[in-house]
Amino acid sequence: MIASLVALLALAPQTVSIVPKETVWVYGNASTPADGTFLRAWGTDGKSCPGPGEDVGEFSFSYLKWDLSSLPADAKLVSAKLVANNIPDPGFNLESSKKAPLEARAIEGEFEAKTWTFDLASKVRPVSGKPGIYGTGSPAEIKAGAPVEISIDLLKGSSDFKKALQVAVGSTNHTLAIAITSALDPSVEGRTCVYKVYGQNESKETLRPKLVLVFESTSFRR
């Protein structure tokens, strides 16, 4: 009986939860874009991010980067989520969030938080349209005075997150970057109708954004 239980536990999926090592708030008027306190996202005219040739300054989004050096190169992914927490009493409600969810997107180009300036936003951009989306998410509930959790399934979008993860793990720097975007439009629904989630430097650990990855247990046998 004990041997069987040990064998079952050994086969249990392995969950890894990782906080981003650096983040950037991409917005023309952001005074401290890389301080890691809050990450924001909103859009305009029904779009969450600019397409080729469109003005980046009309949007606000954020970039997150993770260090994946602790993951085995051949790890077999079972599920992947990005979990973020919005500040309490947001300017959006459940209905508006479902219409314009928080999006996780692939990024074109590379960024470093310590050298980031908004001038780089024309070169380092979210992949626009459906092809760039890893997944979307909106809160299950909004309680007065409480942080609002948003979970994004990264395996449900058009962009191949599994492939992106494999490439990142096998790269020389072992890093993965994701953009968070949204079509919420404060110019239409009010200036507070934006996503404002806690960053990696939030003092309360449970509120920090997390990449939650589940792998087959055999992936961690060396």
d(CA 102, CA 195) in angstroms, rounded, equals 7
Q: Which pTM was predicted? A: 0.92
d(CA 72, CA 221) in angstroms, rounded, equals 9
Per-residue pLDDT tens digits for 186-205: 999 999 999 999 999 999 99
pLDDT at 9 over 60: no
Contact yes or no for 209/198 (Cβ under 8 A): yes
Predicted confidence at residue 12, as pLDDT, reads: 76
What b/e sequence results for 26-40 when a residue is b if at least 16 CB atoms lie within 10 Å of its CB, and e otherwise?
A: bbeebeebbebebbb
d(CA 55, CA 71) in angstroms, rounded, equals 37
What length does the chain have?
222
Give the dihedral sign, CA 72/103/157/34. Answer: negative
Which tokens belong to 48? Answer: 């969450």
Contact yes or no for 192/186 (Cβ under 8 A): yes
> Longest Cα pair distance anywhere in the chain, in angstroms?
64
Predicted confidence at residue 7, as pLDDT, reads: 39
Which tokens belong to 150? Answer: 């948003």
Per-residue pLDDT tens digits for 129-143: 999 999 999 999 999
Which tokens belong to 42? Answer: 């909103």
Which tokens belong to 46? Answer: 């029904």
